[in-house]
């Protein structure tokens, strides 16, 4: 252990740690969950502090030598090279001050290593005066939350959803000529093609891609420049604009200074909205996964219209059993993301006066949601959708046995007569054609034409 000092006095810190006294106090104060702050959030801290150092250099407030040392350390943080030095629990001070100071101390001590000065000497870089210049945890942490989430959604979630869409769209094309029975209310309905069914799934996911892109738009406003309570005390008036410009150039995302700094720090409505969008995407994926699971049920006692890829044994006691585990995985992902969305909503309501004090929990919930949604969508695409095959025999059998083809008879014999035919066919175990001929309601040639399911999936006026 080594001895470091902060405003509260001396603190023993592990000898090999790059963090300092403030971080170690938080380590001891918050042994709560074992869940560290999200890796993407920590990398975002490095990126934002990189931009802050550059902005302060451009404004003449920080020497080029100091700015370069800070940037060098922040780049290492952004690249994940110093992640072991960020040990703090998610459930910490609600402003994220502990995580902000964690970064400040790591950068300061890493700069000491670069310069060959003793760790904890704060020479040549001071954690507060230099790394945190013109900043407060109260504007930095909300800024990092937005930046890190926007990048995670842009770089991970959007590509994963697009990949799932492409796999579903390919199946829609491959299955376009396979006629199957439709189902509403879990009951037989009129026919459609298997390709049309999958085109609906693909369209759902494509809307999810658009919604995810909209999340990035919602996160472009940054709180940087508001400092303690939104007034911008100790901050150069041009500082936030320069930080946003540097972040835009570095990421390609349209980050900009918040229109109202008091709203940007006191409220987390943007994050609540993003949580709602992520929940919508999760619900959509749940529906698709559940449909595919049900269509593949069986193989002999269920619907059995789809042949799903076999990925692992399904039972420890029933030999040969294979389960739709990829659908089950995605359903659980959906449930989890929905729960995290509810958590963010509750966190959002607990912003009191000039600051929301649940930001670390919001960061955990949203970053975890993006991570599991992205991984879930990509895995489902690769290990389920890609390998789906139609069970043509089961599909044809269901079409041939369905009574809902009777709907096509409405123009010929009227709704009431068609209903009587369907009920008679069901009660007597006969086909629609047999009942129609027995009751002499239509000629055989007209029956065959009317009941051809191929004409029902693209009805003519």
Annotated binding-site residue numbers: 95-97, 126-129, 136-138, 184, 316, 321-323
Q: Identify the CA nearest to 304 among candidates 368, 424, 393.
A: 393
Q: Would you list which residues are annotated within the binding site for substrate? A: 95-97, 126-129, 136-138, 184, 316, 321-323
Residue whose structure tokens are 């389920």: 384
> Residue 350 in contact with residue 356, Cβ under 8 Å?
yes
Non-local CB neighbours of 433 within 8 Å, separated by 6+ positions:
444, 447, 448, 451
Rg over alpha carbons for the chain, rounded to the nearest Å, is 30
> Residue 227 in contact with residue 134, Cβ under 8 Å?
yes
Both structure tokens of 453: 């399911």
**Bridge partners (DSSP) listed for residue 187:** 184
The one catalytic residue in 33, 63, 310, 315 is 315
Greatest alpha-carbon span in the chain: 102
Residue whose structure tokens are 């042994």: 31
Please report, for the chain, how many H helices and E strands are present, in that order: 18, 10
| Number of C-beta neighbours around residue 410 at 10 A | 14
Q: What are phi and psi of 340, to 5 degrees?
A: -65, -35
- Respond yes or no: is residue 315 known to be catalytic: yes
Q: How far is CA 61 from the centre of its chain?
A: 39
Query: Helix, strand, or coil here: 10?
Result: strand
Report d(CA 43, CA 28) in Å as an integer: 23
Query: Helix, strand, or coil here: 248?
Result: helix
| Number of C-beta neighbours around residue 416 at 10 A | 9
Report d(CA 342, CA 330) in Å as an integer: 19
Query: Helix, strand, or coil here: 343?
Result: helix
How do strand 9-13 and strand 221-222 relate by DSSP bridges? unpaired
The one catalytic residue in 7, 185, 301, 458 is 185
| Number of C-beta neighbours around residue 201 at 10 A | 24
Q: What are phi and psi of 233, to 5 degrees?
A: -60, 140
Q: Give catalytic residue positions.
A: 185, 315
């Amino acid at each position: 252990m080594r001895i470091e000092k902060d405003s509260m006095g001396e603190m023993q810190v592990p000898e090999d740690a790059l963090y300092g006294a403030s971080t170690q106090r938080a380590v001891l104060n918050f042994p709560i969950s074992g869940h560290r702050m999200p890796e993407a959030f920590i990398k975002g801290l490095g990126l934002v502090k990189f931009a802050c150092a550059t902005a302060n250099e451009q404004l003449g407030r920080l020497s080029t030598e100091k700015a370069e040392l800070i940037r060098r350390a922040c780049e290492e943080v952004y690249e994940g090279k110093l992640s072991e030095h960020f040990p703090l629990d998610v459930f910490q001070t609600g402003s994220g001050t502990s995580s902000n100071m964690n970064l400040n101390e790591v950068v300061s001590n890493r700069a000491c290593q670069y310069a060959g000065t003793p760790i904890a000497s704060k020479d040549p870089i001071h954690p507060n005066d230099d790394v945190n210049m013109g900043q407060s945890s109260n504007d930095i942490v909300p800024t990092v939350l937005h930046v890190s989430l926007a990048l995670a959604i842009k770089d991970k979630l959007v590509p994963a959803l697009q990949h799932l869409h492409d796999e579903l769209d390919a199946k829609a094309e491959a299955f376009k000529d396979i006629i199957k029975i439709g189902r509403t209310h879990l009951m037989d309905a009129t026919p459609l093609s298997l390709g049309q069914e999958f085109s609906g799934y693909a369209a759902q996911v494509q809307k999810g891609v658009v919604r995810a892109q909209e999340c990035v738009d919602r996160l472009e406003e940054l709180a940087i420049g508001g400092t303690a309570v939104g007034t911008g005390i100790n901050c150069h008036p041009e500082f936030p604009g320069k930080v946003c410009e540097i972040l835009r150039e570095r990421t390609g995302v349209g980050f900009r200074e918040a229109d109202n700094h008091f709203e940007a720090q006191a409220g987390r409505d943007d994050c609540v909205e993003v949580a709602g969008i992520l929940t919508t995407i999760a619900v959509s994926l749940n529906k698709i996964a559940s449909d595919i699971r049900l269509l593949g049920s069986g193989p002999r006692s269920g619907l059995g219209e789809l042949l799903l890829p076999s990925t692992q044994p399904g039972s420890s006691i029933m030999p040969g059993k294979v389960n739709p585990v990829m659908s089950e995985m995605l359903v659980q992902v959906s449930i989890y993301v929905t729960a995290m969305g509810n958590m963010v909503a509750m966190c959002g309501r607990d912003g009191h006066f000039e600051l929301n004090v649940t930001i670390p929990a919001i960061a955990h919930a949203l970053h975890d949601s993006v991570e599991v949604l992205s991984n879930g969508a990509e895995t489902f695409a690769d290990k389920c959708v890609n390998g789906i095959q139609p069970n043509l025999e089961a599909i044809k059998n269901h079409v041939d046995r369905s009574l809902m083809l009777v709907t096509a008879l409405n123009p010929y014999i009227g709704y009431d007569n068609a209903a009587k035919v369907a009920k008679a066919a069901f009660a007597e175990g006969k086909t629609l054609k047999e009942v129609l001929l027995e009751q002499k309601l239509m000629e055989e040639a007209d029956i065959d034409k009317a009941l051809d399911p191929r004409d029902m999936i693209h009805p003519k006026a």
